[in-house]
Amino acid sequence: MLSEFDLIKHYFRRARAGHAVLGIGDDCALLAPTPGMQTAISTDMLIEGRHFFAGADPRMLGHKCLAVNLSDLAAMGARPVGFTLALSLPGADPDWLEAFSAGMFALADLHDCELVGGDTTRGPLVVCITVFGEIAPGHALRRDAARAGHDIWISGTLGDARLALAGYWKEIALQPEALALAAPRMHLPTPRVALGRALAVLPTAHAALDISDGLIGDLAHILDASKVGATLDVDALPVGPALARQPLALRRRFTLAGGDDYELCFTAPAGERAAVLAAAGSAGTPVTRVGTIDAQPGLRLVDAAGQALAMDVRGWDHFGGE
């Protein structure tokens, strides 16, 4: 049986040199912030049976736990710097730890984001990561920066993660090929770090967030914080390739209120469309314009013909349900 310290040393402390002044091994890590920059900090906790299935593939889980945290940095426009990992484990299973850490570090290395510390304890399987990033003062993509007349944009596509969940839950009869196409969107989300950073350096302030609980519920946070309303063109929403083959009603429901998308929703002045498209191009991330911010409060849904749509869809709320 591995001791707690052997476990940390073997699976989480790496031989390669990092950027931290002092990494894993002491009571605190020491980081040397770039002078003049602000630190962006975010924490996300993932609990077995709540945020991921019991027995989830550990490599994909390692990826996802870090990805959802990096997604928060992306939504702020920050550059990832480092992270801590608090792990509650039912046991020290070497195969599980090997795969989990490999999945996590593969993504960490892609973003040059260093594991600098954490905590390890025995208990139900819970993974809690805190990420640190850097952002130039005044450039963060804040939820209170949306203004009437701004366009609303979405990165990538929506709904496939929710479609996969519907397949697993047998909510709908999903063909195995469709589930195979949708499942990676649920298990291996792509944090839109390059896009967030490219938007953050544009001259005007933009509002942004990452869509984790469904577009409608998450967009409402921007509307609340910015004290504005919005009109959303439901049929302009970019649909994931698996969901695109499903009936219209399901496409609308899962793009609007699916959850687990980890795409960015952001706003920008209508005069900046070319700059937004150039930023997206430089980040290699497709973006789609899906609506406008209005002075009138509330969210209005319209179809491709501009006709009002009455739909009862809400975002995911951990205390209220869907």
Helix, coil or strand: residue 230: strand
With contact defined as beta carbons under 8 Å apart, do 125 and 9 qualify?
no
With contact defined as beta carbons under 8 Å apart, do 14 and 109 qualify?
no
| Contact residue for ligand ADP among 1, 3, 26, 32 (CB under 6 A) | 26
With contact defined as beta carbons under 8 Å apart, do 236 and 288 qualify?
yes
Q: 72 a known binding residue?
A: yes
With contact defined as beta carbons under 8 Å apart, do 31 and 20 qualify?
yes
Tokens 């040393």, residue? 9
Cα separation, 79 vs 169, whole angstroms: 36
Of 31 and 222, which CB lies nearer to ligand ADP in the complex structure?
Answer: 31
Sheet with 126-135, strands from edge to edge, namely 38-47, 126-135, 79-89, 114-122
Of 68 and 87, which CB lies nearer to ligand ADP in the complex structure?
Answer: 87
312 touches which of ligand ADP, Mg ion, none (CB within 5 to 8 A by kind)?
none
Outline where DSSP puts E strands in 36-78: 38-47
Q: Does 119 bind Mg ion (CB under 5 A)?
A: yes
Closest residue to Mg ion: CB criterion: 119
For residue 91 the two structure tokens come to 């046991």
Q: Does 118 bind ligand ADP (CB under 6 A)?
A: yes
Of 41 and 278, which CB lies nearer to ligand ADP in the complex structure?
Answer: 41
Q: Does 85 bind ligand ADP (CB under 6 A)?
A: yes
Which residues, 157 to 176, sit near ligand ADP by CB under 6 A?
Answer: none
| Contact residue for ligand ADP among 3, 15, 16, 27 (CB under 6 A) | 27
Q: Does 25 bind ligand ADP (CB under 6 A)?
A: yes
CB 66 to ligand ADP: min, Å = 12
CB 12 to ligand ADP: min, Å = 4
Tell me the torsion sign for CA atoms 17, 19, 25, 26: positive
Q: Does 109 bind ligand ADP (CB under 6 A)?
A: no
Q: Which residues are near ligand ADP by CB under 6 A?
A: 8, 12, 24-27, 85, 87, 115, 117-120
